[in-house]
């Protein structure tokens, strides 16, 4: 029954799939299943649409909540009573980007909380049941497991947002005293992340890198920088390299020289305004370039030597296995910090690379410590000796 339901939804979303290699359009759909108890199944679909005519990839979440014994979808009205909308709105207003109204229709049900996803807000809103206790319907409370949970979590903080997580990280950063030592004759590789920042993936990736005292290179999109200033500053503070991945993920080969320049310059400017540093390297979108681009772009262009296709695979273990079964001294590894599955893969990849004796360095360090100079208009994808 449950599987049928998932299959049905999977099929519906797959039906929407567009994959046209000529135009580099992508539609990726990932799903996570939550089982707060035996009666409820909650499914979260994370969808990324990157159609060739979009300025940048669209990322959004759709959810489905199903009551197995009643064989029907669960709506907010099945969970809440009274003036719950006002309560949810006040929680939403407190937590993030102010909106004139919030659409609470996308949410998942966990055993201790509801998590709401909004279209134009990247951070989900977490609502522990304890904060909306008086608005919960008794029929919902009667559900096995929820009731016991409510009693236990009474003294939780009022609301938990990812801002709190960022604040904590910033405090940690202040007492960061570890320095990295690079030994030029020992093996090294560069992890690179494209298309971010995206809080739900970039922050856990930064946490993993910090935990292991290693660095990476983030080829960011200029148009994602203003919204993620804290993340950009953190990258710089923690020693990562920031690269330019254009302003709005345009296919550069299709643009005029002026527009190519605009895509690059606008990104340089935006990053400089936020972080006080300017990228020294760039990665062309879709890895595609031609002579026109080589002439116009006044930076070295960085491609890669290992591509686990994390945007397609969406499975942490498979991504990690792809990388770990191929990695050699001098490799540049391509990943995307817009998927939670990639963030999980990084948790596997980083300690294992360290375990095998690799030093994890930025792209610029990889070339510098191998005695190679990156020059304008050239393409680089690895350093094999």
Residues that bind Zn ion (CB under 5 A): 194-195
Q: Which of residues 287 and 351 has its CB atom nearest to Zn ion in the complex? A: 287
Catalytic pick from 194, 195, 331, 337? Answer: 194
Q: How far is the CB of 218 from Zn ion (least distance, A)?
A: 12
Q: Is 336 considered catalytic here?
A: yes
Torsion of CA 36, 37, 40, 45, to 10 degrees: 30
Q: How far is the CB of 286 from Zn ion (least distance, A)?
A: 7
Q: Which of residues 63 and 244 has its CB atom nearest to Zn ion in the complex? A: 244
Q: Is 207 considered catalytic here?
A: no
Q: How far is the CB of 323 from Zn ion (least distance, A)?
A: 18
The residue behind tokens 């300017």 is 278
Catalytic pick from 228, 245, 249, 336? Answer: 336
Q: Which of residues 252 and 360 has its CB atom nearest to Zn ion in the complex? A: 252
Q: How far is the CB of 339 from Zn ion (least distance, A)?
A: 12
Q: How many helices (H) and strands (E) does the chain have?
A: 14, 14
Q: How far is the CB of 290 from Zn ion (least distance, A)?
A: 17
Q: Which of residues 36 and 57 has its CB atom nearest to Zn ion in the complex? A: 57
Q: Which of residues 195 and 337 has its CB atom nearest to Zn ion in the complex? A: 195
Q: Which of residues 91 and 232 has its CB atom nearest to Zn ion in the complex? A: 232
- SS3 sequence of the chain: CHHHHHHHHHHHHHHCCCCCCCCCCEEEEEEEEECCCCCEEEEEEEEEEECCCCCCCEEEEEEEEEECCCCEECCHHHHECCCHHHHHHHHHHHHCCCCCCCCCCCEEECCCEEEEEECCEEEEEEEEHHHHHHHECHHHHCCCCHHHHHHHCCCCCCCECHHHHHHHHHHHHHCCCCCCCCCCCCCEEEEEEECCCCHHHHHHHHHHHHHCCCCCEEEECHHHCHHHHHHHHHHHHCCCEEEECCCCCCCHHHCCHHHHHHHHHHHHHHHHHHHCCCCCCECCHHHCCCHHHHHHCCCCEECCCECCCHHHHCCHHHHHHHHHCCCCCCEEEEEECCCHHHHHHHHHHHHHHHHCCCEECCHHHHHHCCCCCCCCCCEECECCC
Q: Which of residues 146 and 191 has its CB atom nearest to Zn ion in the complex? A: 191
Q: How far is the CB of 194 from Zn ion (least distance, A)?
A: 4
Q: How far is the CB of 200 from Zn ion (least distance, A)?
A: 17
Ranked by CB distance to Zn ion, the top (closest) residue is: 194
Catalytic positions, written as ranges? 194, 336
């Amino acid at each position: 029954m449950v599987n049928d339901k998932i299959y049905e939804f999977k099929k519906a979303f797959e039906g929407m799939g567009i994959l046209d290699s000529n135009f580099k359009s992508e539609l990726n759909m990932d799903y996570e299943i939550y089982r707060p108890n035996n009666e409820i199944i909650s499914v979260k679909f994370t969808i990324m649409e990157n159609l060739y005519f979009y300025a940048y990839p669209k990322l959004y979440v759709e959810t489905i909540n199903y009551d197995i014994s009643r064989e029907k979808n669960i709506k907010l009205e099945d969970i809440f009573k009274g003036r719950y909308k006002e309560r949810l709105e006040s929680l939403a207003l407190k937590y993030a980007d102010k909106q004139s109204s919030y659409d609470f229709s996308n949410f998942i049900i966990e055993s201790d909380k509801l998590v709401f996803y909004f279209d134009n807000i990247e951070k989900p809103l977490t609502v522990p049941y304890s904060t909306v206790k008086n608005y919960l319907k008794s029929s919902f409370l009667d559900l096995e497991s929820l009731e016991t949970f409510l009693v236990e979590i009474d003294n939780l903080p009022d609301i938990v947002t990812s801002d709190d997580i960022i604040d904590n990280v910033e405090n940690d950063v202040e007492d960061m005293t570890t320095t990295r030592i690079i030994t030029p004759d020992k093996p090294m590789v560069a992890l690179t992340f494209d298309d971010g920042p995206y809080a739900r993936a970039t922050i856990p990736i930064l946490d993993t890198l910090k935990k292991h005292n290693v660095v990476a290179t983030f080829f960011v999109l200029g148009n994602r920088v203003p919204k993620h200033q804290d993340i950009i500053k953190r990258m710089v503070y923690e020693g990562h390299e920031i690269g330019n991945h254009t302003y709005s993920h345009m296919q550069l080969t299709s643009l005029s020289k002026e527009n190519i320049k605009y895509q690059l310059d606008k990104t340089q400017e935006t990053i400089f305004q936020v972080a006080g540093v300017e990228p020294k390297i760039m990665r062309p979108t879709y890895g595609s370039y031609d002579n026109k681009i080589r002439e116009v772009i006044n930076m070295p262009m960085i491609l890669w030597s290992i591509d686990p296709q994390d945007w397609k695979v969406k499975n942490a273990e498979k991504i990690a296995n792809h990388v770990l079964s191929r990695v050699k001294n001098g490799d540049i590894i391509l990943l995307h910090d817009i998927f939670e599955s990639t963030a999980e893969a990084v948790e596997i990849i980083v300690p294992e690379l360290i375990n095998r004796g690799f030093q994890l360095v930025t792209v610029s360090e990889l070339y510098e410590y191998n005695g190679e100079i990156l020059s304008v208009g050239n393409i680089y994808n690895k350093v094999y000796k």
